[in-house]
Homo-oligomer: A and B are copies of this chain.
Amino acid sequence: MPRTLIRDLAAAVGEEVTVYGWVNALRLQRKLQFVIVRDHTGLVQITNKRTDEAGELEQLIEHGMTPESAVKITGVVISAPNVKLGGLEIQPTAVEVVSRADAMPIDRQTGIDQRLDWRFLDVRQPERQLTFAVQTTLEEALREFAYAEGCTEMHTPKLMGTASESGSEVFAVKYFDRTAYLAQSPQFYKQMAIAGGIDKVFEIGPVFRAEPSFTSRHSTEFTGLDVEIAWIEDVEDVMRFEERMLAHALRRIEERHGEAIREIFGVEVTVPDVAFPRYTMAEAISLLRARGWDPEGVKEDLDPEGERMISRIAAEEHGSEFVFITEFPISVRPFYHLRPEHNPDVTASFDLLWKGLEITTGAQREHRHDVLLKQAEEKGLGLEPLTSYTDCFRFGTPPHGGFGAGVNRILMVLLGLESIRDAMFLFRGPNRLTP
């Protein structure tokens, strides 16, 4: 019989149906057999009380059935107001164990490391199912916005011939008789697309960071959202693009999953007002120092504590979960960030923080070939290795800017997850390459 999804059972009362799913729980007694079956749309109770002529219960559900076995159950949907799961149950006529499960190696109390060892079993939990449903909606909505803005979706190479700008934090790959490197960002390539006359470009794909970091917000491989747009007036155009994009995605998520997220994660999805508040780095630092941050007064960038504090200030002052920090000093930004005319001591750059966590870095890029070379030299960089990058600015390249955001970090903040390890299917860290 064709499959009926559990969420559709209410419309099938009185009919015979077949549900496919996993044994969520079971109680097999001599006079009564109960099984709770779970599919990706819900739970249903199976109640077997069918007796034979002698008045004995027919053992339709074999006693070897185990929790988490994959089953197909055919039976009649009965209205049963006392049953908590939707006020209905299925009285079975045929039960098939499609794949019997061994004893579970993890349970609800298992710590995260062992959960990750058995991630495919962990993913069966409702909060993980919801996590990936939300991720799907998040990306669908980000793309929907990008398409509407006229973006072209480009796939940039993950294999590079030379280590990207920083040189550090890059994985080396044995590539036939030479060495390749894994892209730690599509930065260079998306700018190349802009130089190629692609008006707006976006990509959602893997990025790789060879950082030996063990924090709750770092991983060596994650999903990046990258956007680059041409013909901007200034970096504000980029920030406005991003805030509208995120607001659109959060609206979609609230509509589709708001209730489930509230129920399962206890988190309210707030669709933000745009524009988000903006503090220049100078403003942020003086606000933070007034509250006792960085007592030595030496930092030019925000540390995680500073990020959390400035987010709290933005929440107090503007009622916003989001805050842009702008105009980062030249010292903490790469040579290719444009320096605004009104203040050439800083860069036309920004970070976006959400509830205290950095989720984005962006900037207007320097598109003038001569200025770019000058800035590279000032940073003490050799021009020769940069030629393949700087050549992109010799043939008519419009002003442009963009940003890179971490999809898993967005998901982590959105659902209030404690670790980025739960905001991706299969986490990769310095000590973890499996499963």
Contact = CB atoms under 8 A, between A and B. Distances in A.
Interface stretch (A281-289, A326-334, A346-354, A427-435): A427-435
Interface string A117-144: 0011111100011001101100110010
B398 A435 contact: no
Contacts of A223: 155
A157 B206 CA distance: 8
Interface in A385-435: 388, 392-399, 407, 424-426, 428, 430, 433-435
Nearest to A158: B206
* Residue from A176, A197, A199 whose CB has the most chain B CB atoms within 10 Å: A197
Mostly, the A contact residues are mixed
How many copies make up the complex? Answer: 2
B101 A159 contact: no
Contact of A39 (B40, B102, B129, B199): B199
Contacts of A290: none
A104 interface: yes
Interface stretch (A146-154, A267-275, A375-383): A146-154
A205 B368 CA distance: 33
29 contacts: A20-B398, A23-B396, A70-B396, A98-B398, A99-B393, A99-B396, A99-B398, A120-B192, A121-B395, A123-B198, A129-B197, A132-B198, A136-B151, A154-B425, A157-B425, A158-B206, A159-B171, A159-B221, A161-B433, A172-B173, A172-B174, A175-B433, A176-B212, A180-B433, A189-B426, A192-B426, A205-B206, A388-B434, A388-B435
Given A99-B367, A101-B396, A135-B152, 13 more contacts: A20-B231, A99-B368, A101-B395, A120-B392, A123-B196, A132-B198, A140-B143, A157-B428, A175-B220, A180-B433, A189-B426, A193-B425, A388-B434
